[in-house]
Structure 1
Amino acid sequence: MTWIWVISVVFFILKLLMSPPSALVAWVLRKFELHPELDSKDVTVTFNGKHLEEEEKIRFTDYFNEANFLKKHYIFPGNEKLFLNPETNITPFVINVKRGKKDVNFFVYSSDNHVDVVKQYKEKVVSYSLNSDDLINFTM
């Protein structure tokens, strides 16, 4: 009979920790999100080797944060360099973010109807597409 109470208390605590308003759940979701929301104070944005000015950087990160996620592109092992250095004549915007001890780089390639993002952190490379008219038409 006491095992039933112990198990029910454990399930109650787990349910309490995993409820939607829980800070633990929010932290876990932020840890594994593919398209994170960036703070313009923590990033540096470069285009063609030149840093964007402060108001352009703020506008670019706002557009990046407001962009809609379309789909994830699967990268097979060994093909990471094809995504990091594609054979196109499109110059990417490079976003560098420092989160704790980790450096995360985003390479943002704009095409006519979508935006491709290549995210590099540690040795991992992830690619996905965004829908954002503001990012497509962004000019300095």
Structure 2
Amino acid sequence: MTSPHPLSPGAAQALDAFQQAGSWEQRARLLMQWGEKLEPLSDSQRVEENRVHGCESQVWLVAEQVDQQWQFRAAGEARLIRGLLALLLVRVNGLDSQALAQLDLNDWFNQLGLARQLSPSRSNGLNAVLKRMRELASAA
């Protein structure tokens, strides 16, 4: 299933890079590289109010809406989680609330070739992050 919402240039770049990676080892290396691109959150943003519950490792999420489009920033303690967060952010940043509500997270990670490597706890954690994004969007 393809998304009814076009990919941003960053999401298209991620999809291209991951589809060209021939093995899990190459995708894992790419995942770590994407995680290193995450803009760090300040100590004042790493507070309980911004923590996403439902993740095994600690994850913080902040959101800002600019001209009806959402911009999220996130941080996580584990390297692999940071990579997954970066790939989630590149897919959701710039979406409006309706597009965010319709996003198929499993489809996105399937397209990237990462869905099979997501443990149930990581998958649940990513879904918790997306759920929190949707809560922030609907509260705005």
- TM-score, length-normalised on structure 1? 0.30
Greater share of residues in strand:
1
**Normalization by structure 2: what TM-score?**
0.30
Larger radius of gyration: 1
